[in-house]
Structures are given as C-alpha cells and as structure tokens.
Structure 1
Amino acid sequence: MPKACAKPFHRGDHVSWNSEAGRVRGHILRVHTKDVDYKGYTHHATADDPQYEIKSDKTDHVALHRGRALRRLKH
C-alpha cells in the first residue's frame, strides 16, 4: 500500500517538484481523490493517496503529482 503524505496539501498551496527540466514551482489547482483521466492517461487516486493538479508558475503547464513528489514552499 502506498505511503500517504504526512501533511496533505490543499488547493492554493505553493509547491515545488522535480521535472526533466529541473525544479518547478506552482500552485495546486485541484485535489483528486478518485481516478482521473488526464492527457490520455488514468491517474489513480484515493482519499488516502490523492493526485494533485498543479499549474506551473512560469509556463502555465498543468501537471498531476502525488504528495510524496511535492515540497511545500513558504509564502
């Protein structure tokens, strides 16, 4: 069973994550607690292990990540 994030993230939180281009920053748009189809791929999510929909600060790119891939940034 996947380990849940100790402190869940919420809509509006400012977070960062690793991408192929390096560290990216963005804000959480939505928290998905059920499977979601995005860009032709099903992202599995549960209430205990949600997927976070995040919009990049620089490029407006939207990505989905689990909480364990994210780091909360200070305001």
Structure 2
Amino acid sequence: MSNRFKIGDHVGWNSEAGRVSGTIIAVHTSDFDYKGHTHRASADDPQYEIKSDKTDHIAAHKGGALRLLP
C-alpha cells in the first residue's frame, strides 16, 4: 500500500527534470482520464493530482512516488 496524502499537503517527487515539489489539489480513488490517458486508482491505492510550486503544471502520481515535505 502506498502513502496516504490529503488535499493541501506539500509533497515532492522525482521527475525527468529532477526533484519537483507541489501541492496536492485532488485525490482520485477510482480510475480517471488525464491528458488522454486512463490512470488507475482505487480506495486502497489512490492517485493524486499535484500542482507544481514553480509552474502551473499539474502532475498525477500514486502515493508511492511522493514524499511529504515540511
């Protein structure tokens, strides 16, 4: 099971560009379409939409890819 986060949490993750941080803006507990792709999510393994701190980019990740930041 992955980490659990909530809307408003400040998190970090690795991207192709290096370490990125942002704020969770949505929690998905069922499959959803994002940027033309179906992302798999469930109540036991949710996915999170995160808005980058430095840009307006929105990313979708499972909790295992994220870490809570202070």
TM-score range with shorter-chain normalisation? over 0.9
RMSD of the TM alignment (CA)? 0.7
Within the alignment, does 1:38 sit opposite 2:34 as a pair? yes
Residue deviations 1:29-62, cap 9 Å, x none?
0000000000000000000000000000001100
TM-score for the superposition, normalised by structure 2: 0.97
Name the count of aligned residue pairs. 70
> What percent of counterpart residues are identical?
69
Provide structure 1 residue ranges, at least 5 long, that are not aligned to the other structure: none
Partner in structure 1 of residue 69 of structure 2: 73
Gaps of 5+ in 2: none
How does 1:1-75 map onto structure 2 within 5 Å? 4-5=1-2, 7-74=3-70
Cα separation, 2, equivalents of 1:20 and 1:58: 15
